[in-house]
Structure 1
Amino acid sequence: MKVAIIHEWLVMRAGSERVLEEILTLFPDADLFTLICALPPGQDAMLRGRKVTTSFLQRLPGSKTKHRMFMPLMPLAVEQFDLSGYDLVISSSHAVAKGVITGPNQIHISYIHSPMRYAWDLQHTYLAESGLTRGIRSWMARVLLHYLRIWDMRTAAGPELMIANSAYIQKRIAKVYRRDSLVIFPPVDIEGLPYSAEKDDYFLAASRMVPYKRMSLIVAAFARMPDKKLVVVGDGPEMPLIRRIATPNVEITGYLDDDALRARMSRAKAYVFAAEEDFGIMPVEAQACGTPVLAFGRGGALETVRGPDKDRPTGLFFDSQTEEAVIMAVRKFDAAAEVFSPENCRDNARFFSRARFRENFLAVVEQERRRFAEMAG
């Protein structure tokens, strides 16, 4: 089959791009489409020299550095790709990619990282964090989001099959699109991560420093526990706030490359994760390093971390995004740290391996191809 793969934008190698990279590996001859391509030097290795077809947005001033500002044009842009010559179209979608136009003789499989968060249940959070709660700019944003929801719902009928990246996203797909979906967890490079059963006396928090990651919450909680050491890895808009509230027991490293981060992760006594993520690759990577996880008990973490009520637990959960809840979880972990063995953490992480993703994804594509052929007679 002639295969086309489409991803919203390629401006950095984050979680959804890692999934895309695996899909590209599975279909080495597929053509790749994206609205905007501006990968930093070195990160474009994931394309393996592949030619990328971009949209008209690529040529607009500022699109490569401030791509989110062009969201009002993205539904139009994605509909301009002519994919009529392909038998199989795979969209990797967290915004508009699933809205690509396909015909009745084409199979469209969409891997949904999430329905558009800012257009649906996180609209009010997005408006508040963007300073758009009142005034003319706020109303303009609300009107835009209203029309994005209409377009998003209309195009939800396009794919023959939707794949969710977690049961959490499966529920959101059912709520937003009124559609069934299959779950295939994202791939994590388990074997490429360093494992250590020996731990040093510190907790680790690592993420982009943006509000919804709640890194400042973790730092504020440890500021109230001067007897507990926290290592903070990452960078972003909240870095000035985090530096301001950090106390001497909090070490802030800033950005670290993958090898340095993973070395710190493998020696940490536990990884602290306060965000509500759709899946959350970092908690799985921590477990692959043999490190237990203390996580907010919402979203994908409930599917990737085995709590104390399970056999062979790999971490525990706190039930609210508050300093008190984080403090209680840390104290609880320290009181029973021997329950969470590095070996169990590593074994649990293998469930989310790259090999497992590839096997499951190819099986689903083949099943859909056969079903499509039977329907065609």
Structure 2
Amino acid sequence: MDTKQTDLDQVAVAHWGEHVNGGGDRVAWELSRVFQGGPLFVGWQDKSIEPHDIETQQLINGRLSRWALERGGIARMVAHMLGWQVADPLRDYDVLVTSGNEPLFYVPPTEQVWVAYIHHTNRRQSDQIQEVENGKFGPLMLLFYYAIRVAFDHNTHKPDVFLANSEQVKRRMIRYWGVSEEKIDVVYPPVSTNAYSPHDAETGDYYLTLSRLDWHKSVDDILRAFDNLDEKLVVAGDGPERDDLERIASENVEFAGYVSEEKKKQLLAGAKAFIFNGQDEDFGISPVEALAAGTPLLGVEEGMTQYQVIEGKTGYTFEREESGRTIRRVVQQFEDNGVDWDTQKIASFADRFSVQAFHDRMHEAVAHAVENADLTPEWYSEVENISSNPEQGFTEN
């Protein structure tokens, strides 16, 4: 392959699998739009959540494989491990861009250029390993996850370039996967910042949190902060923790459930401030959407969230505390002082995470990977020159 002649509009894009219309899926769909020219290959497919403009092709097929993918757990892991190794349709492309960790099982042809976009580092096998130790069958699960790490570790050197979705994930890739820092670049996920505006709604009398209601989002601490507080909190989103959260919520908390995109725009623009308490968040799309709506962010001083807050300008940070006292204090601080930046300046700050910025950075990253992967021997150009000018002859070294 002459990588210098590679058409960057003909790049294969492959995603581990469509799952609940989550952030990883939206990144993969946008990658497909960046490199238009073929289907988005997915380990497993869910047509019900696909955007109308995305054409997908499922890579892992067969009755047994499909059963394993639908069953989940260890069965799904094995299906991905077996299904991705060869992945025949991907081998016809000069350049491959993958999304997620499961495609790292792929064994590429020698000359194929491979750029791997990484959303996280299998967090219960890395920075959140204490959750395994403290959970049910802790020692057995630690042994199980150790075996997974051993099986997975040899996959983390095959791509030519890794792209991390934040500096936090880059750090984890270096520490837990052993990838060299020189091999990793950071490309933030695409957020449709242009879809949100401070003008979508008048600022109301409520605070807002919006996320999947799962344990690692720590919404329960936000609820404790608003217990008997003379402020209203709206909780948007759904998930496995919802019933438990509703049981501990006080009367000033309203659960909006899953909301449409139009309703989300109104809620974000109308909130006094957006509160986010996700545990050591890899990136965090909802906080950026809130900023794009011109809404200040009250965020936990962890992960990428701490850098999405410019203290006193886009919002305020708070330290993690299960009682919710620090969140309560920062709400009071916001009530007393507000923030220095107006809604339009906050919205402009969010543009660094826009879809257009993502497109630009992805094109740059892939072009750079192709250039660096050029296999042409140093002497080849000299031979080519002689072929066209026979009288010149070879140069002796």
- Contact 2:42–2:58 (CA<8 Å) still a contact in 1? yes
Closer, same or farther: CA 75–238 of 1 in aligned 2, 3 Å? same
Residues 1:361 and 1:60: Cα distance change in structure 2 (over 3 Å): closer
- Greater Cα radius of gyration, structure 1 or 2: 2
Distance 1:55 1:317, change over 3 A: farther
Match of 2:129 in 1: 123
Cα offset for 1:340?
4.2
1:26 aligns with 2:34: yes
Q: Which residue identity lines up with residue 163 of structure 1 in the other structure?
A: L
Deviations 1:233-284 (A, max 9, x none): 1111111111111111111111111111221111000000001210000010
- Cα deviation 1:87-137 (Å, max 9, x = unaligned): 1111111x32223111221101001111111222223314645x332xxxx
For 1:276-287, list aligned pairs within 5 A. Answer: 276-287=280-291
Aligned-residue offset at 1:296: 0.6
How far is the alpha carbon of 1:6 from its aligned partner?
1.8
TM-score (norm 1): 0.89
Task: Look up the match of 1:104.
Answer: 110
Q: Which residue of 2 aligns with 1:153?
A: 153
Q: Structure 1 residues 351, 36: closer, same or farther in 2, change over 3 A?
A: same
Equivalent position of 1:270 in the other structure: 273
Match of residue 87 from structure 1: 94
Task: Indicate the SS of the match to 1:110.
Answer: strand
Q: Deviations over 1:149-200 (max 9, x none)?
A: 1132211110110111111111111112232211111110011123238411
CA distance in 1, matches of 2:221, 2:78: 33
The alpha-carbon distance between structure 1 residues 62 and 143, as it changes in their structure 2 partners (threshold 3 A), is same
SS in 2 for 1:203: strand
Distance 1:68 1:207 in 2: 27
Give the match for residue 144 of structure 1: 144
* Root-mean-square deviation over aligned CA pairs: 2.2
Is the Cα–Cα contact under 8 Å of residues 225 and 327 in structure 2 kept in the other structure? yes
What is the aligned partner in structure 2 of residue 245 from structure 1? Answer: 248
| Residues 147 and 228 of structure 1, relative CA distance in 2, 3 Å threshold | same
Deviation at 1:305, TM superposition (A): 2.4
Change (3 A) 1:272 1:49: same
1:321-356 per-position Cα deviation (integer Å, ceiling 9, x unaligned) = 431111111111111114242122101111111001
Matches within 5 A, 1:216-365: 216-225=220-229, 227-275=230-278, 276-308=280-312, 313-322=313-322, 323-365=324-366
**TM-score normalised by the chain length of structure 2:** 0.85
The Cα of 1:62 is off from its aligned counterpart by 6.1
| Residue 173 of structure 1: aligned partner | 173
Report the Cα distance in structure 1 between the residues aligned to 2:65 and 2:210, rounded to whole angstroms: 35
Aligned AA for 1:195? Answer: P
Aligned to 2:164: 164
Tell whether 2:21 aligns with 1:13.
Answer: yes
Farther off after superposition, 289-298 or 64-73 = 64-73
Supply the distance in 1 between the matched residues of 2:240 and 2:122 (Cα, whole angstroms).
22
Q: CA deviation at 1:46?
A: 5.5
Moved more, 270-279 or 84-93: 84-93
Aligned equivalents of 2:64, 2:161: Cα separation in 1: 29
Unaligned runs of 5+ in 1: none
- The residue number in structure 2 matching 1:53 is 59
SS at match of 1:351: helix
- 8 Å contact kept, 1:35–1:58: no
Structure 2: which 5+ residue stretches go unaligned?
Answer: 1-6, 379-397
Question: In the comparison of the two structures, how many residue pairs are matched?
Answer: 363
AA partner of residue 244 (structure 1): R
CA distance in 2, matches of 1:161, 1:233: 37
C-alpha displacement of 1:35 = 2.1
Aligned to 2:137, which of 132, 135, 145? 132
User: Higher mean Cα deviation, 11-20 or 68-77?
Assistant: 68-77
Secondary structure at the counterpart of residue 163 of structure 2 = strand
For the residues of structure 2 that align with 1:288 and 1:341, how far apart are their CA atoms? 12
Q: Deviations over 1:74-96 (max 9, x none)?
A: 32332131333221111111x32
Q: Is the alpha carbon distance of 1:128 and 1:69 closer, same or farther for their aligned partners in structure 2, counting shifts above 3 Å?
A: farther
Q: 1:65 to 1:331 in 2, by over 3 A?
A: farther
Corresponding residue of 1:202: 206
Inter-partner Cα distance in structure 2 for 1:221 and 1:46 = 41
Determine if the alignment matches structure 1 residue 373 to structure 2 residue 371: no
Which deviates further from its counterpart, 190-199 or 23-32?
190-199
Tell me: CA distance 1:162–1:205, structure 2 relative to 1, closer, same or farther (3 Å). same
CA spacing shift, 1:220–1:56, aligned 2, 3 Å:
farther
Q: 1:376 to 1:315 in 2, by over 3 A?
A: farther
| Structure 2 letter corresponding to 1:201 | D
**Distance in 2 between the 1:300 and 1:237 partners?**
24
How far 1:28 sits from its partner (Å)? 1.7
Instruction: Give aligned-pair identity as a percent.
Output: 25
Query: 1:173/1:60 Cα in 2 relative to 1: closer, same or farther (>3 Å)?
Result: same
